[in-house]
Amino acid sequence: MTVEEAAGPSGSAAMAGDDRPGRLLELSVRDLALIERLRLQLEPGLNVLTGETGAGKSLLIDALGLALGARADTTLVRHGADAARVEVLFDRVPEPLIATREVGANGRSTARLDDQAVTAARLAETVGPLVEIHGQHEQSRLLDERWQRELLDAFGGHEKLRAEMERAVERWRENRAELAGLALEPREVERRLELLRHEVEEIAGARLRDGEAEELRSRLELARHGEAITRGAAAIRAALDGEGAGARDALAGGVREARSVARIDSRFEAVANRLAGLEAELEDAAGDVRRLVDGVDHDAAALLAAEERLSSIYSLQRRYGDDEAAVIAHGERTASEIERLEGLADERHRREADDARLLAGVAYAASELSTSRRAAAARLGGATDEVLRSLGFRSGAFGVDVGRRAASSDEAAVELDGDAVAFDATGADEVVFRFAPNPGEPGRALSKIVSGGELSRVALAIKQVLAAADDTPTLVFDEVDSGIGGRTAGPVGRSLWSLARDHQVLVVTHLPQIAGHADAHFRIAKREREGRTITEIERLDREGRIVELAAMLGGAPSSGARGMPGAGGGAEERGPVTKSGLVAVGPGPDIGDPADPGGPDEAVDLDRAEPADLVPDAPAAPGGSSVLASARELLDAAEAWRGRPVVPA
């Protein structure tokens, strides 16, 4: 079974018609640690970064992580700079998507998308899915069986089945919580019912009205000042209705005189009407005074009853609510609680029936997920084993087991295939990646047997299988060659190149056998300028790659960028260079410094170069031209495997 058959549609096919941004086009870095200013233009396919240890290869991966929304670290800001800046361009129609991240030495971090300020979280949400970075942490995570289950589910496309399982378990847990709340002893239920019934009877017997307490307070306040009110009202009535001296009699006389004058002089008609109106007002006012005085309670027994009623209302408010409305609402809630407790047995029986029904739903969801997992495990195991064979392992070295854990006596269980098994929101399965690299030895859990180099290859194989169904445009591998020797490096390089047919791949490596498969090869070097160490990067042409591969094969650190001495200028840190200090790049003249009286450098033929052609204090790889020939042979073999024509020597 091929990887494509196991995983379904390829990544590129899955991305067809997807209008989201695509691969990484360019990475620009400024004032980040050793990097003063750097621009890296990446290609589709396999991009490889090589260079001496400490030159800044992994630093570029850290810079990319910043642009993807990773946590900002102020220690990365270059000494003397105000801020570090990283900018990445992603392929998008009609123009690239630009993501920018700045980290200030003062701790402030800013992020932008297409020149629009965004949060780091928004940046990560937008561009994070476009790049997947794999380092040693991700390889170590492969040993976690919970992560192995997640990988299997991703491969099997179990998102819908997992969601159904989670919903089934959540419904069951909610019902279980309600059922636990119903687990009360009968005596406790009866005690609570007795208390609640008393409260309801007390509130109902009070027959409260909203606002009643305020009315009683006003009534009692009037009664306390009743004598003064009565005296004042009598004086008002005397002023209005006093015999012969009251305002009403005087005003009535004025009305009569005004009307009499109006018969002679019509201008007084208006005055007469106004006075008549005042007479009506006085009559109304006198009536109001009588009614208000009559409303003052002078009955001692009635006042005592009002005080007792108000005291009862206050007592209820102290226990059940701030006002009459709150007390009435408490009574209604209490009555509902009584109804619930009285129906507790019925509710418990209903919840118990629901528990059995919902647990059956959990069992069904778990069974469906488990069946799909077992089928996916067979495909994942077969496809990964196929890739591992190409990486130097025997057939049948890798497999995926899907098992179940028996439930203990004190935990919930579902019955699957006649067994009572434990479960959670992820299902009822235990997924274990088993590995048997040595013939005759049984497969054991990956975490129990795998070495560092084996883990790197297993992780790469699984990623290659999963990536066939993954639509992540760019995959980054930092130190994927950890623990891998030269004998297995070639197959790893071929596997990375194959992976790069569906995705853009960026790899940091120290192994020439991997670097030989690059579609684009970049060399990173550090050097000293004006007393400061800086990192520079160069894309290598074919002959430049041969020199770099020769340095890697011979164990000598690679040189700096073309035309520059090695890092720090020390002879012990330099690779194959010409006598004038230029990188040996193969047939054809390399023009030196025009100001050099010696004129152009002598061309160096890499196939015929000898140790004497190299700078005396820069040690060549053992064997002189033989290591350069080996580098050319390695590159020829890689290109021949890919079906590309070999460039004649």
Residue with tokens 């691969």: 23
Burial class (CB in 10 A: 0-12, 13-18, 19+), 530: exposed
Tokens read off for 395: 């057939």
**Greatest CA separation found in the chain?**
147
What lies within 8 Å, CB to CB, of 543 at 6+ separation is 585, 586, 587, 606
Reported for 600-607, long-range contacts at CB under 8 A and 24+ positions apart, including other chains, are: 602/578, 604/578, 606/543, 606/546, 606/547, 606/550, 606/632, 607/632, 607/649
> pLDDT means per 10 residues in the chain (649 residues)?
44 44 91 88 93 80 89 86 93 91 90 92 90 74 87 93 96 90 76 89 86 76 60 61 63 74 79 77 73 62 72 85 88 87 80 92 95 95 90 88 90 90 94 88 79 77 78 83 74 88 90 92 87 86 92 63 36 36 33 37 41 38 69 89 66
| Alpha-helical runs (H) found in 15-104 | 57-67
Between β-strands 131-134 and 474-478, what pairing exists: parallel, antiparallel or unpaired? parallel
**In 3-state terms, what secondary structure has residue 324?**
helix
Strands (E), 549-595: none
pTM exceeds cut of 0.85:
no
Kindly list the domain boundaries of the chain, sorted by start residue: 211-322, 540-641
What per-residue confidence (pLDDT) applies to 601? 39
Is the sign of the CA dihedral 317, 323, 326, 331 positive or negative?
Answer: positive
Q: Tell me the C-alpha to C-alpha distance, in Å, between residue 58 and each of 54, 154, 485, 506, 514.
A: 8, 28, 20, 11, 17
CA distance 100 to 77: 15
What per-residue confidence (pLDDT) applies to 490? 85
Angle, helix 186-206 to helix 324-342, in steps of 10 degrees: 150
Please say whether the beta carbons of 376 and 156 come within 8 A. Answer: yes
85: left (phi over 0), alpha (psi -120 to 50) or beta: beta
What's 189-250 look like in SS3?
Answer: HHHHHHHHHHHHHHHHHHCCCCCHHHHHHHHHHHHHCHHHHHHHHHHHHHHHHCCCCCHHHH
Q: Which of 590, 596, 593 is nearest to 577 (CA)?
A: 590
81: left (phi over 0), alpha (psi -120 to 50) or beta: beta
Please say whether the beta carbons of 97 and 67 come within 8 A. Answer: no
| Alpha-helical runs (H) found in 242-323 | 247-264, 269-295, 300-320
Count of alpha carbons within 13 Å of 432, Cβ hemisphere only?
Answer: 15
Q: Which of 559, 623, 558, 502 is nearest to 23 (CA)?
A: 502
